[in-house]
Amino acid sequence: MDRQVCLLVASTRMAASSDVPVRRSAREQILDTAYELFTQRGIRAVGVDEVIARSGVAKATLYKHFRSKNELALAFLQRREQRWTLDLLEGGSAKLADDPEGQLLAMFDVLDEQFRKHESFNECSFISVLLEMGTNHSVGQACVRYLANVRVMIARRATAAGLADPDEFAKSFHILIKGTIIAANEGDPKAAQRGQDMARDLIEQHRRTPQYGSKRVLPAGKAGQTRRARPAPTV
């Protein structure tokens, strides 16, 4: 067969194969369905039968991959951490700023974008599920761990930024993030901007020396608009 004909046949086969949609595994179908339902309505309000019906699998198939509803809820929280904490909050803010202090403040830019993009923004599932299930439940305990992981990430950035008492800073900073999310769900369109302003003040309180500081310009149109960090106080 002519070489050009062979290449044409090969490319045609590749194009045809690329048009075929990738079939999700049964486990992924179940988890995708549970993720949507649990995010919107919480854990208790969603029954296993509804997950089975919406995902289009047999009951035996669900229990083959998830031995209980609790196990499914724990898998949901694990995926939520990947999508929310790692991909969106940490990954998204890392794209908006190069320096660790800028990345801390950019978390509010990420939140602001989400608030504006989605008419019905889903609040932090770790908080809502924790309040729903309580700390005595294994699912609630998992929420506590995932929330602690957020503070670990914040503390790591605070350390890199040279801020004093990074663990204490992370606890206060996390309160601002959680408060911002709640305020946005209440309908405050400036929730992220208010949270970011308070975060700036918190950063100033935790500077190791009066000389520490760098200019940081926020992306125009984001939570804080275009601003610069406050100058270090004169001693």
CATH of the domain at 165: 1.10.357.10
Residues 40 and 96 occupy one common structural domain:
no
Residue 39's domain is classified under what CATH number?
1.10.10.60
Provide the residue type at 217 as one letter: V
Q: Do residue 59 and residue 113 come from a single domain?
A: no
Task: Check whether residue 193 and residue 227 sit in a common domain.
Answer: yes
Q: Quick one: pLDDT at residue 43? A: 96
Q: How many CB atoms lie within 10 A of CB 145?
A: 11
Residue 207: strand pairing partners: 163
Residues 217 and 184 reside in one and the same domain:
yes
pLDDT score for 17: 44
192 found inside a domain: yes
Measured from the Cβ of residue 97, the count of other Cβ atoms closer than 10 Å reads 19
* Same domain, yes or no: 88 and 41: no
Per residue in 118-176, pLDDT (tens digit) is 655 566 899 999 999 999 999 999 999 999 999 999 999 999 999 999 999 999 999 99
Q: Which of 13-27, 30-44, 106-120, 197-211 has the lowest mean pLDDT?
A: 13-27
| Shared domain check, 104 and 86 | yes
H or E segment to which residue 151 belongs: helix 138-160
- Give the domain range for residue 29: 24-67
| Nearest residue to 129 (alpha-carbon basis) of 32, 30, 44, 35 | 44
Residue 168 CB neighbour total at 10 angstroms: 13
CA angle 180, 184, 189 (to 5 degrees): 110
> pLDDT at position 223, please?
60
Answer yes or no: is pLDDT of 31 > 50.
Answer: yes
At 160-217, the pLDDT tens digits run 999 999 999 999 999 999 999 999 989 999 999 999 999 999 999 999 754 444 444 3
Residue 24 has a pLDDT of 78
Task: Tell me which of 33, 67, 101 is where a domain ends.
Answer: 67
Q: Are residues 50 and 96 in the same domain?
A: no
- Residues 140 and 158 reside in one and the same domain: yes
Q: Based on the domain organization, do 115 and 214 belong to the same domain?
A: yes
Cα distances (angstroms) measured from residue 21 to each of 11, 16, 18, 142: 18, 11, 8, 34
Instruction: Check: CB of residue 192 under 8 Å from CB of residue 89.
Output: no
Q: Which is nearest to 209 in space by CA: 235, 172, 173?
A: 235
DSSP bridge partners of 163: 207
Q: Is the pLDDT score of 7 beyond 50?
A: no
Whole-angstrom CA distances from 186 to 27, 191, 201 are: 35, 9, 24
pTM above 0.85, yes or no: no
pLDDT at 92: 97
Tell me, yes or no, whether 163 and 55 share the same domain.
Answer: no
Q: What are phi and psi of 163, to 5 degrees?
A: -85, 150
Out of 9-13, 107-111, 175-179, 214-218, least confident range: 214-218
Q: How confident is the model at residue 23 (pLDDT cuts 50, 70, 90)?
A: confident
Same domain, 111 and 195: yes
pLDDT at residue 225 in the model: 47
Q: Is residue 195 part of a domain?
A: yes
Q: Is residue 14 part of a domain?
A: no
Lowest mean pLDDT of 5-14, 15-24, 194-203, name the range: 5-14
Instruction: Give the count of domains, the chain.
Output: 2
C-alpha R_g of the chain: 23
pLDDT per residue as tens digits for the range 48-84: 999 999 999 999 999 999 999 999 999 999 999 999 9
pLDDT at 117: 83
Within a domain: residue 1? no
Q: Which tokens go with 98?
A: 């190069």
